[in-house]
Each structure stands twice: as C-alpha cells, then as structure tokens.
A and B are shown apart, each in its own frame.
Chain A
Amino acid sequence: MDGITLNLFALQLFTGLALGSVFVLLAVGLSLIFGLLTVVNFAHGAFYMVGAYVGVFVLGLTGNFWFTLAAVPVVVGSMGVVVERYLVRPLYGRGIDYPLLLTFGLGMALVEVVRIVYGLEGVPFDTPKELRGAVDLGFGFFPLYRLFLIGITTVLVMVLWLFIEKTSYGLVIRAGARDPEIVRVLGIDISKVWLIVFAIGTGVAGLAGVLSAPMRSVIPDMGSTVLVEAFVVTVVGGMGSLVGAVVAGLLVGVVVSMTSLFWPSLTDLSMFALMAAVLLVRPQGLFGKKGLMG
C-alpha cells in the first residue's frame, strides 16, 4: 500500500479519536443513567438531536459559540429533569422494560416536535471563527475544530471522573449504583440522586449534539443513527462502566475511521463487527461486570 503513508495513518487515527469523542460523550451519559437507574434511555439520540437544535437556536439569538456551549447542557439537562421526574419515575419497580419503552415513545415525539418547529430540512451550523482552519501536528494538518472536540471531551471526562471519584456527592452516586436500598436506609434521598444523574446524562448528550453540529448536518433524524452507535459503544465497553464507555468510544471511533481508510465500503459495518467479536469473547463487554445485567 504505497498510497497509505504513516502520516495518513496518523491523521486518520486522530480523525477516529475525534469521532470517538462524540461516542464517548454519548456513551458516558447512557452508561451513567443505566448504572444508577437501570434505565436504558432510548431517547438518548433524541436528546442529542435536541441539543444540536437548542444550539442552533441559542447561537442564532446570541451569536456567541462559547455561551451556546454552556447553555445547551443546562437546557437539555433541565429537560432531562422534567422527563425523569414526571415520566420515568412513575415506572420504577414496574419491570425493567417499561422505562425503555417510554423513552422510545418520548424519542419519537421529540423528533416530531423538532420537525414541526424547524421542518424536515437540515439547518446549517457554522464552525465558530476561532476554531476554523487546521493545525500542523507534525505529520500533517488536522482540522482545529476536531482537535478542540478531543480536548473538550478529555476535560469533560476528567471533570466527571473527579466529581464521581473525589467528591462526597460522587460517593453517594457510587454507593447508589451498588445498592440503592442501603443508600436509602442511610437517610439519603436516592430519588434526588437519580434525578441529578439523569440530568447529567441527558445534558452531556445534548452537549455532544451541539459539538458535532458543525461536523454533521443538523437534521431531526440525526439522533436515530447515533442512538444505535451509542448502544454499540456501551455494549462493547460494558453497560454501567464509565471507563468502558471512554475506552470503547475511542476504540469504536478509531475502528470506524480506519475501516474507512482501508475498506471504505465496510465502514458502516465495522463497528458491528467489533461488537459481535466482543460479544463472542466477553458478553458483558470489555469493562462490564458479570451478572450486572441479571
């Protein structure tokens, strides 16, 4: 393969990491929500899409990309609060399938609401001025925006990790994931913890949406493929595992982008092949605990 040099390979690796960053953000939220609430959030893709549209709205209003970036997770997270409190909470204890089904219906409704407001056509979302252009990484020029995406994901994952591992509230969250009953017995309002975790998860999904808006077109259906991709990542990484979400997200991103370099026609299939391989060897996922899913 003369055409594929080491430099091209390295560039493609970075492209994969940027792609993987979006997967990481989605899967972290999905995994967090599952780990604590045992809810598979089928509306996760819809929240991602809503995040992009809220971004379009706020950016149109203020013209400030950085403010938009801060506002979107807050808005989408607040939506998550309402959804958890009034739609998901009544279903706890009614069997594990019901929250899943509910969020599936919710996702459909959200997509249609956005269609009513913004129509079927895509909405353009320009890359902010400060982040246009490319930087020299030593082996070639790489789009600055994608580098920024990798950076912000790294920071966000670090912050989340510190929050969960090093703060006293994080301790409650970790305890809640192990045994909500005991946490409740200790006098902690676990439903409030669940509410917050659901808000964080959906907020991060919304952020992922607005972050990927300049790279993908903003259309009402954008969440539907992403949902499947996020599922693949969580299955590969192991449900409920944050480390798994990060590693698998980057891994899937790199695998997809490498496949598009070497075997372009198999790009769409590559992540499923990876998932199938992981399922055969480790059905619980790379970092999943055995029996969690019982």
Chain B
Amino acid sequence: MSEIPMNTGEMQVSGRRLSDLVKLVARHRVIAVLAFMSVFPFIMPYEALAVNILIYGLFALGFNMVFGYMGVLSFGHAAFFGMGSYGTGIAIVHFGAPWPVAIGLGVVVAGITAMIMGAMAIRSRGIYFAMVTLALAQCVYYLIYQMSDWSGGEDGLTGVTIGEIDLGVVSFNLLDPTAKYYFMFTFVALAVFIFSRILASPFGAVLEAIRENENRARACGYNVQLTKWITFVISGLFCGLAGALNAIHLSVVPIESLHYHLSGQAVMMALLGGMGTFFGPFVGAMAFLLLEDVITLITIHWQLFLGITFMIFVLFFPKGIWGSILHWVSR
C-alpha cells in the first residue's frame, strides 16, 4: 500500500488513513478488542445488550476456532455453551458454591462434554461432522431435559444469583449493570488474550494448515486427528466460559441454551462477522444482536429477516463484515 503515491484528493487521503487504521487494529488485535470493549457500554443503548454482545462474542470466538481457523463446521457448540451454563448454575443453586468455583466448574463441565463429543464426532470426516455434532448436541439437550430434578427441565434452572462480590480490595454488586459489564469484561479480556496466544503459537499454525490442506498437514507429520480433537476441546472451553457468564448474567439457565438453534446462532455470528478473522465473531455478535434488538421492535418476525440476511451473506459476502473490510483494505 505504501508504494502507491499519495494523491491530493480528499477521498484518497481519508481512505488511506482508514486502511492504515484497520491494519493497525488488525496488528494489535488483543489491545484493540479490549480498548473497544472497555468503552463499549457507553455507546450501547443499554448495558444488558452490551453484556449480551460480550458473551455471545466470546461464544462465537470460541466457535470460530473450529470453524474459521480449522475449517471444520460444527453444529454442536450449543452443548458447550449450555453445559457451561448448567455447570455454573447447578453449582450455585444446588451446592451453593462461591462464584469463582462455579464458573470454573462450568468451564470444566463444558470441556468434558467437548472431550466426549469430540472423540465421537472426530471419527467422521468432512460434512458428516456437522450432522454428527448436531445430533450429539441434541442428545445432550434431551439428557439435561430429562434430569429435571437437577436442571429444572423445561422451565430451566432458576435462582442463579451471586449478588455481592467481595474481592477484598473492592467489592461490588452485580445488580449494578455497569459493574456487571466490567465483571464479565475481565473474563472475556482474559479469554481473548489466551485465544490470541493460542493462534499465534505453532499450534495455531497447524490449525490453519489443516484448514488449507488436511492431507498435506498429515503428510507433514502432524497428527491431524489429535489436533482436531484438542482444538474442539479448547473451543469448547471458551464456549463453556461464555455459557457460565451467561448463567450469571441472566440468573437463570433456559433449556434453550442447549438447543441447536443456538449452535446455528454461533455459525451465523461467525459468518456475518467474518470467519477465520479475529474480530469477526465480535463484529458478527454485535451486528446480530443489534439487528435483533432493532428489528424485534418493528416486527416479531425477526427470524425471517435473519434467515434472508444470512442467505445473502452466504451468497454474496461469504467473507463477512470484518472479512470484507480487511479484503477491501488489503486490495
């Protein structure tokens, strides 16, 4: 880009500045995400929406590791989100666990679910994988549905409240929406940092190698099956954290958080934002939830709009919003 001589036109100058900005943002991805997220609640119409975007952004981020970076389409990620939620919820409601334990437990439960599901699903290749993960996730859904003594069944698990949080130095109440946002933000920030480090590691390079050419990656001596499984589990841990935070955010765990429609949402968010890009999932989650917020005010048939929008993206903008911006900048 720099070898192109600068023209005097106003448009070009601003275009160039914009593209430099995009590149700068892409280079310092963790800092950029965190900087944006830290002022985020002030530009949103209300804080609960900001918290939602934070949580679903994390969910889509975790999902994107499998879909965008490794190139394997999973339709079962609701299981990890939901098990993260139920793990945390059950720890708080039935065992009265303190919140750090509960969140940790949610993540662990989601990880174990991912281990089992991954071990089965990884045996199937290619397009099969989407169907198998979908079916296995529905299996988890019915299982939890049946265990109504523990999970509340159809009504969901109610009473997941933690209220006051005392960290010794500071104490705050989660009933305050701003405090809640920054409480969630701390976890998401940590997750984003870890996620970025994983991608930057040699392991992250293997992921993209598998996406580009699975057979060649295998020929290079990488254990593709094991890498897929590990990635699936790591991705499940991130989604489990998102679920755990959602349980605390909502104070209830609805049974829908295990349903495959939620897996579909992760797919849509990742694709809307731009699969295989670092910001994509957050951009996608933001676009998705903002649109939902606006359109449900106008009509109850938001799903029609969503379905059509999604089809348009698949047909004409498969790179997604952020992916298209990156593409436009690097032209």
Contacts and interface: CB of A to CB of B under 8 A. Distances in A.
Interface string B137-162: 01100110110000000000000000
A98 B309 CA distance: 14
A100 interface: yes
Given A108-B303, A108-B307, A279 B123 contact: yes
A156 to B, nearest CB: 24
Interface in A37-53: 38, 40
Nearest to B304: A112
Contact of A293 (B124, B134, B301, B311): B124
How many A residues are at the interface, by size bracket?
35 or more
Contacts of A87: 311, 315
A294 B125 contact: yes
Contacts of B315: 87, 90-91, 102
Contacts, number: 122
Interface in B159-202: none
B135 A275 contact: yes
Contacts of A165: none
A228 B133 CA distance: 11
Nearest to A267: B142
A111 B135 CA distance: 20
A159 B2 CA distance: 66
B307 A105 contact: yes
Given A40-B127, A108-B306, A294-B126, A101 B143 contact: no
Nearest to B137: A228
Interface in B292-331: 301, 303-304, 306-311, 314-315, 318
Contact of A231 (B123, B125, B135, B261): B135
Contacts of B309: 105
B66 to A, nearest CB: 12
B130 interface: yes
B268 to A, nearest CB: 8
A232 B135 contact: yes
A104 interface: yes
Given A97-B127, A115-B301, A102 B306 contact: no
A106 interface: yes
Contact of A100 (B121, B124, B130): B130
B317 to A, nearest CB: 12
A28 B310 CA distance: 27
B128 A293 contact: yes
A113 interface: yes
B64 to A, nearest CB: 13
A235 B303 contact: no
B258 interface: no
Interface range for B: 35 or more
A105 B311 contact: yes
A101 B271 contact: yes
A233 to B, nearest CB: 10
Contacts of A131: none
A195 to B, nearest CB: 18
A116 B304 contact: yes
A102 B311 contact: yes
Counting chain A CB atoms within 10 Å of each CB, the highest count among B130, B260, B308 belongs to B130
Contacts of A38: 127
B132 A235 contact: yes
B137 to A, nearest CB: 9
Interface in A128-165: none
A96 B260 contact: no
Contacts of B310: 101, 104-105, 108
Nearest to B125: A293
Contacts of B126: 96, 293-294
B120 interface: yes
A293 B121 CA distance: 13
A109 B308 contact: yes
B303 A283 contact: no
| Residue from the set A40, A105, A276, A283 with the largest chain B CB neighbour count within 10 Å | A105
Given A38-B127, A40-B127, A293-B127, A109 B304 contact: yes
Interface of B: 73, 120-121, 123-128, 130-132, 134-136, 138-139, 142-143, 145-146, 260-261, 264, 267-268, 271, 301, 303-304, 306-311, 314-315, 318
Interface of A: 34, 38, 40, 87, 90-91, 94, 96-98, 100-102, 104-113, 115-116, 224, 228, 231-232, 234-235, 239, 265-266, 268-269, 272-273, 275-276, 279-280, 283-284, 293-294
Report, nearest first, the 4 A-B pairs whose CB atoms are least far apart: A109-B307, A108-B307, A272-B139, A105-B310
